[in-house]
């Protein structure tokens, strides 16, 4: 039974918007935030307010317009950042400040030029300062994926003691394997004093194509929140894809997790974000790609026409599509041709199908796909020939 709720923290407007060339204007951000609210996400990370006046204003406007979800603003562990994040959230009904610092050896030595002890001090100060503005403070240990578990546990424990309500364990560089990331979450669950006072959050990047698998491993090991973006957009290879983790938990209800996301809105949200950001969704993208519910080989088409479940593990209606697509190509068989011919108004007899199928293959070998218009044209032409040969 799915009885463990997983909070969905959407960061399309913050980590997602870090994609080069994908700047959204304020009305577009508000439109996406309102759609995310309807989708049922629990948290919207609306921006990084210190980064620009435009981002500050967008967070402020999202706070005025969005009512139900928590609105979160990002900051570094720098007092000015935190203060500006707090100001941008002043109209939010449920504000959250997201603050944090790098904790991996690479970040401490090369980026921050600091020491492990000083990083813990800065983490504690940042959480305490954020706490002076809002009750709900999420702490992130940047590059937690490459941070040794013992040290990570010390940082997380100190952040919770300072008042963090959520502890985010980002695999910033997308380095971890699912088993390794799951073990990291379990380690924190079992070794951090006070861990029951905070929600553990998974934040994965997709550099090795494992963001979804890592996020699912995290919830299986004790995380209660997943940070993700629509279409998996984000820095480099992107973030965990919201639609993927939501549908994994829905399809595998035996895992025992559920979310509040209205999965029937996934396709429309994907298209909205793709349009506004000007990023085309790859055709074979799981759940929302143009081919995710399209069948083009004869064997698969025959199976799906007989019974959809032969080659589909999800009902297209569950993600907001009215049906799967039977695509006519040179790999299609007679069953697919008869099926599509019927859709455009031609009920073919077996003898007609045999003749027309050969004509169809000649055309299909010349072009990639036969659309409704091509098919109607081909059927009319073939029937004219059949009729002529009868006279």
Which parts of this chain interact with ligand KIV (CB under 6 A)?
15, 140, 142, 168, 170, 172, 203, 205
Residues 212, 230: Cα–Cα separation, whole Å: 12
Residue 168 binds which entry of ligand KIV, Zn ion, none, CB below 5-8 Å type-dependent:
ligand KIV
For the record, the structure tokens of 331 come out as 């790999």
Distance separating alpha carbons of residues 258 and 91, to the nearest angstrom: 30
Nearer to ligand KIV, 94 or 205 (CB): 205
Tell the smallest beta-carbon distance from residue 295 to ligand KIV (Å).
Answer: 37
Q: Which is nearer to Zn ion, 43 or 326 (CB)?
A: 43
Q: How far is Cα of residue 191 from the mean position of the Cα atoms in its chain?
A: 30
Report helix, strand or coil for 131.
Answer: helix
- Told to check if 171 binds Zn ion by CB under 5 A, we report no
Residues 1-60 that bind Zn ion (CB under 5 A): 15
Nearer to Zn ion, 163 or 238 (CB): 238
Name which of 211 and 304 has its Cβ closer to Zn ion.
211
Number of residues that bind Zn ion (CB under 5 A): 1
Q: CA 36, CA 275: separation in Å to the nearest integer?
A: 15
Give Cα separations from 80 to 50, 76, 90, 129, 212 (angstroms).
8, 9, 16, 10, 34
Nearest alpha carbon to residue 36 among 4, 60, 72? 72
Tell me which of ligand KIV, Zn ion, none is bound by residue 142, counting a contact when its beta carbon lies within the kind-specific cut-off of 5 to 8 angstroms: ligand KIV
DSSP state of 61: H
Nearest-approach distance from CB 13 to ligand KIV, in angstroms = 13
Question: In terms of Cα–Cα distance, which of 73, 24, 19, 23 is closest to 45?
Answer: 73
Q: How far is the CB of 205 from ligand KIV (least distance, A)?
A: 6
Smallest gap from residue 330 Cβ to ligand KIV (A) = 44
The string of DSSP letters for 26-53 reads HHHHHHHHHHHHHHT-SEEEEE-GGG-H
Nearer to ligand KIV, 107 or 295 (CB): 107
Q: Which residue is nearest to Zn ion (CB)?
A: 15
257 binds, among Zn ion, ligand KIV, none (CB under 5 to 8 A by kind): none
CA 82 to chain centre: 27
Question: Least Å distance between CB 51 and ligand KIV?
Answer: 12
Q: How far is the CB of 248 from ligand KIV (least distance, A)?
A: 21
Q: Show contacts with Zn ion in window 322-341 (CB under 5 A).
A: none
- Placement of tokens 């941008």 in the chain: 88
Smallest gap, in angstroms, from Cβ of residue 18 to Zn ion?
8
- Angstrom CA distances, 152 to 145, 147, 158, stand at 10, 6, 10
Measured from the CB atom, is 143 or 302 closer to ligand KIV?
143
Which residues sit at the interface with Zn ion, rule CB under 5 A?
15
């Amino acid at each position: 039974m799915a009885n463990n709720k997983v909070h969905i923290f959407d960061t399309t407007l913050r980590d997602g918007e870090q994609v080069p060339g994908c700047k959204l204007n304020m009305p577009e951000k508000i439109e996406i935030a309102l759609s995310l609210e309807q989708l049922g996400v629990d948290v919207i990370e609306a921006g990084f307010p210190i980064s620009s006046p435009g981002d500050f204003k967008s967070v402020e406007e999202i706070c005025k317009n969005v009512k139900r979800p928590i609105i979160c603003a990002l900051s570094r562990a720098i007092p000015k950042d935190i203060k500006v994040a707090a100001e941008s959230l002043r109209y939010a009904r449920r504000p959250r400040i997201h603050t944090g610092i790098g904790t991996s050896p690479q970040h401490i030595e090369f980026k921050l030029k600091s020491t492990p002890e000083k990083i813990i001090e800065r983490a504690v100060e940042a959480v305490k300062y954020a706490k002076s503005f809002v009750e709900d403070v999420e702490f992130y240990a940047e590059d937690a994926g490459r941070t040794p578990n013992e040290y990570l546990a010390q940082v997380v424990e100190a952040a919770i003691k300072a008042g963090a309500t959520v502890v985010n364990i980002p695999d910033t560089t997308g380095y971890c394997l699912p088993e390794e990331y799951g073990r990291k979450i379990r380690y924190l669950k079992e070794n951090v004093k006070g861990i029951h006072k905070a929600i553990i959050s998974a934040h994965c990047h997709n550099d090795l194509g494992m963001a979804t698998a890592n996020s699912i491993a995290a919830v299986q090991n004790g995380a209660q929140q997943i940070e993700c973006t629509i279409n998996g957009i984000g820095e480099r290879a992107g973030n965990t894809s919201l639609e993927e983790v939501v549908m994994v938990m829905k399809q595998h209800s035996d895992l025992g997790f559920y979310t509040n996301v209205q999965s029937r809105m996934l396709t429309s949200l994907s298209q909205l974000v793709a349009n506004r950001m000007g990023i085309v969704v790859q055709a074979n993208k799981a759940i929302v790609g143009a081919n995710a519910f399209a069948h083009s080989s004869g064997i698969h088409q025959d199976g799906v026409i007989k019974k959809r479940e032969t080659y589909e593990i999800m009902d297209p209606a569950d993600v907001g599509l009215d049906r799967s697509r039977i695509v006519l190509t040179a790999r299609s068989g007679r069953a697919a041709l008869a099926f599509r011919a019927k859709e455009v108004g031609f009920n073919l007899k077996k003898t007609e199908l045999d003749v027309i199928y050969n004509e169809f293959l000649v055309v299909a070998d010349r072009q990639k796909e036969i659309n409704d218009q091509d098919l109607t044209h081909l059927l009319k032409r073939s029937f004219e020939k059949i009729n002529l040969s009868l006279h």
